[in-house]
Structures are given as C-alpha cells and as structure tokens.
Structure 1
Amino acid sequence: MKQMTSREFNHDIGKAKRAADDGPVLVTDRGRPAYVLMKYEHYRQSKPGGMTMFDLLRDDEAGDFEFDPPRVHDVGPRPAEFD
C-alpha cells in the first residue's frame, strides 16, 4: 500500500489520486495512519457481500430493477412453537 503524509496529500491531491489508481493510498497524520484514499470502483468491489440496497438505490449505473417485497398477511401475535 502506498503511503503519503497529510501535508503531501494537501499539497498535491492530483498525485494522491493518480497513486490511488493503482491501489489504496494510506494518508498519515503526524506519523499515524489517518485515512485511506481509493477509487470508488475498488471500494465497491472490496465490500463484503457486494452492494447494499442503499448502494443500489443511489447508483445511477446500477440500472432499474423490480422490488416487490412479500406481503405480510399474518400480522399479530402467534403462539410459540416448541420442537
């Protein structure tokens, strides 16, 4: 993982973005890890379980999809089932 100081990051954001094209960039603050800069595409691919419903709803590139949740017919308390 590439690394740069917060001072370097603030001085040349373009350099940080170019470095993030190849992979995550660790930005340190006073010698301690503070932030990670990465391309959004890489971030989406790295999330466990893929995209969330929130991601799908806000992503213009995800396209349209049908969402028809099952109806709940039996509303109310039910007796406990013991096996």
Structure 2
Amino acid sequence: MTVTTISSREFNQGASEAKRAANNGPVFITDRGRPAHVLMSIELYQRITGSHKKIADLLAMPGIADADFETPRSRDLAKPVDFS
C-alpha cells in the first residue's frame, strides 16, 4: 500500500490523478501543509471499517426506539451576568 500526500491545489488541478493514486493506498490532501482530508478507494474504506453496509443503514440506528434514555435536569443553566 502506497501513501500519497498532495496539496489542495494539486488535488484541484488533478483530481483524476489523485483518484488513480487512491487505488494504491490513501491520499492525504493538505491545506497549508497540514493534513486536512483523506481520499481512499471504497474497497480500502470497507476493509478498514470492516463494513459492507451503506452509511444510511448505519445512521438509521435500528432498535433505538427501545433504548431508555433519561437526562437529569440541570438547575445551573441560567446564571446572572457580571458586566463589571
């Protein structure tokens, strides 16, 4: 697996090259020299997450209606403002 790092400018000018590089491993996209995004193939993503489910299925959270969830009431929400 090859890790590639490119700048945002390089990505904007050559997205197809970045997609090709993502077939060989993750592509780190930097903003001002700092990693900001990662581009990877769907196969690598599924291997890393161990999931072949769709993201919508994961976000649906089946069975959540049966969960018991109680939050304690907070009495410290409003406090006087000190303008001094």
TM-score by length of 2: 0.59
Distance 2:54 2:13 in 1: 35
Letter aligned with residue 51 of structure 2: M
Distance 2:7 2:26 in 1: 14
Number of residue pairs aligned between Structure 1 and Structure 2 = 55
In structure 1, the gaps of 5 or more residues are: 60-83
Q: Kindly indicate whether residue 36 of structure 2 is the aligned counterpart of residue 51 of structure 1.
A: no
Q: Secondary structure at the match of 1:46?
A: helix
- Residue identity over aligned pairs, in percent, reads 49
Cα deviation, residue 51, structure 1: 1.7
TM-align CA RMSD: 2.1
In structure 2, the gaps of 5 or more residues are: 58-84
| CA deviation map 1:34-74 (0-9, x unaligned) | 00000011100011xx227xx25869xxxxxxxxxxxxxxx
Partner of 1:8: 10
Would the alpha carbon gap of residues 56 and 20 (structure 1) be closer, same or farther in structure 2, given more than 3 Å must change?
closer
Distance 1:11 1:5 in 2: 10
TM-score by length of 1: 0.59
